[in-house]
Structure 1
C-alpha cells in the first residue's frame, strides 16, 4: 500500500495578513513548537507516516511554493510532487516562472518534483507508481458554450489581469491552448504507461478539476473556468486516482470508475477559523 498526503490551495501568499485573523498568533506558535515543522501553512504533525506528498497547486506565488514543499518534504521525510495552480503565476511572467519552478525543484536533491506535462516515478516497497502532473487549465466547454464561458471568465477571473507572458496579458485563449496540450499529453502518456507497464499504478495530479461534479460553490457562469468534463474519456486509460485543486471544494468521489479528490485549504484572510482547522487529505493506493 502507498500512503499519499495531498493538499491544494494553501494560498501561503495570504499569510502576510495573518494578524487580522482571530487566533492566528496561537496557531503560528503551534508551528514553532514542533521541531522542523514548516513555519507557515497547515499543521501536519498528526498526519502520520506517508510515502508521498502531493501539492496540487495554488501553494504560493512563483518559486516560494517550492521552498515550502522542500521544507515539508524534509519534515515528513517523504518526496513531494508539486503542480502549479493559476496563483503561482499572479503578477508574474508565466514563461519565466515555469522554468524557474523546474530549476528550483531540481535544487532540492530529489525531494521535490515539479510537474508540468511530465512524469515522476517512484518505487515504494516493491510497488511502482507513475505520477503524471500538469496545471491542465480548462477547455471552457463544461456547459457546451466555450465562447460564452471564455467571455465570462475574461470579465470575472483575476487570471486574465494578473498573469502575462512578457508581451501580452494572459487570456482565456491561452488557457485553452495550454489545456489542449496537457490533455493530449495525458492521453498519450497514460496510454504508453498502460501498455508497457500495466502492473504499475498511475496517479494524475492537476490543479484544474476533471469533472463538473467537483465545482462546489464555483457553479454558474464561472464554472467552466474551474473544471472540464474529462473522466469519461480518460476512463479507458485507467488511472488509479486523480488529485486536483482549484475549486476550493473538498471531496472524495468516483466517476466513470475513476477516484478523484481534492483537499483545498482556502484563503486565510476570509476563512480564518476553517483554515486553522484544516487537515490534509490521505489517499491509499
Structure 2
C-alpha cells in the first residue's frame, strides 16, 4: 500500500480565515504525515478492471473539516489529486447535512464518495431522524453513506459506521447515566431525551458486532477498507488524552479487529491530530483531519492512499 500526496506544502489556512486572527502556532512548519511518498499516475478503470489488471485503488482521505467553523467555507477548494474514491470520515459541516453532502459532491466532481455520519452531523438533531434524513439526501446526491453497511467499489470492499465509543477507555471517569455532552437527542416511545453514555455504549455494541462479522469473515482477495469516525485503538490517541474522560469519548479498543490482519486500511476521524499507525497484523490506521478552524497544521488536503 503506497501513499501518494500531491500537496507540496501544508494547507494554506489563510485562504479560509482571511482577516481572522490566526495564531502563530497554527502555522507551524509542515510535518509530513507519512514519509517515503511516491507519485503515481494511472487511468481510472472500472471495478472489474481493478481486479483483472491488479490496479491499486487511489483513496482520497479527509475528515473533520468543520466547515461551519470558518467564515468563508466556500473558499476551501483544494486542487483535486488523482483519485478513484473520496473517503470522508465525518464532521464535514456541523448541524447541516445537506450543505455537507453538497460540498462533498462538488469536491468529488463526479467520482464516488464514501461517507460516514458522525456526532457533529447529528448535532442539534435526533439520532434516528437525522440518520434517515441523511440517507435520503445521500441517495439523491449519489453519495454512499455507510452505517453498519458495506459496499464493494473501485476494487475495494468498504465497511463503514460511526462507531460510537463504549467509553471503556475512560475507566471510572465515565458515568454511564450521564449525557455525553453532545447536543444530540434520542427518542423512545413517549419522549425525546439527551444522548447518554449508556446510549452510546449500546450503539457501539451493535456496530462492534457488525464490524466483527464483516472483518473477521472477510476472505476475499479484494482489499478491505474500514471507515469509522471514532478511533478503533488506544494508539490512535495522543499521549495527553490517554487515561482521561476524552479517551473514552474518542476511541474504543477494537484491537482484536485492527490486529487481525484482515483489513488493509482503517480510516478514522474525530481526533484532531494526524496519525498513521501500523498494527501487528498489517492493518494501517490513518487519520487526516483538518480540525476546527483548520487548526491541524499537518492536515494534508491532497492525501491519497493506494490500496
**TM-score of the alignment, normalized to the shorter chain, above 0.5:** yes
1:231 positional shift: 2.6
Quote the residue 2:81 is aligned against: 48
Superposed CA offset, 1:19-48 (max 9, x none): xxxxx7xxx7xxxxxxxxxx254x420x42
Judged with a 3 Å threshold, the aligned counterparts in structure 2 of structure 1 residues 153 and 225 are, in CA distance, closer, same or farther, namely farther
1:152 positional shift: 9.1
Counterpart check, 1:265 vs 2:286: no
> Contact (CA 8 Å) 1:7, 1:55: kept in 2 or not?
yes
Alignment of 1:3-18 (within 5 A): 3-15=58-70, 18=71
| Separation in structure 1 between the aligned mates of residue 262 and residue 177 of structure 2, nearest angstrom | 32
Alignment of 1:134-283 (within 5 A): 134-142=161-169, 145=171, 148-151=172-175, 154=178, 158-159=181-182, 162-166=183-187, 167-192=192-217, 194-195=218-219, 198-216=220-238, 217-219=240-242, 220-236=244-260, 238-256=262-280, 257-268=282-293, 271=295, 274=297, 278-283=300-305
Q: 5+ residue gaps in structure 2? A: 1-55
Q: Return the match for 1:63 from 97, 103, 123.
A: 97
Aligned residues: 243
1:237 positional shift: 5.8
Quote the residue 1:32 is aligned against: none
| Separation in structure 1 between the aligned mates of residue 264 and residue 84 of structure 2, nearest angstrom | 16
Partner SS state of residue 259, structure 2? helix
Partner SS state of residue 260, structure 2? helix
Partner SS state of residue 136, structure 1? coil
> Contact (CA 8 Å) 2:231, 2:252: kept in 1 or not?
yes
Q: Which has the higher helix share?
A: 1
Judged with a 3 Å threshold, the aligned counterparts in structure 2 of structure 1 residues 53 and 135 are, in CA distance, closer, same or farther, namely same
| Separation in structure 2 between the aligned mates of residue 189 and residue 181 of structure 1, nearest angstrom | 13
Q: 5+ residue gaps in structure 1? A: 19-23, 29-38
1:235 positional shift: 2.9
Moved more, 227-236 or 180-189: 227-236
TM-score (norm. length: structure 2): 0.73
Q: Return the match for 2:151 from 109, 117, 120.
A: 120
Quote the residue 1:79 is aligned against: 112
Partner SS state of residue 243, structure 1? strand
> Contact (CA 8 Å) 2:65, 2:291: kept in 1 or not?
yes
TM-score (norm. length: structure 1): 0.78
> Contact (CA 8 Å) 1:62, 1:101: kept in 2 or not?
no
Superposed CA offset, 1:53-86 (max 9, x none): 1100111124232121111122xx4211111121
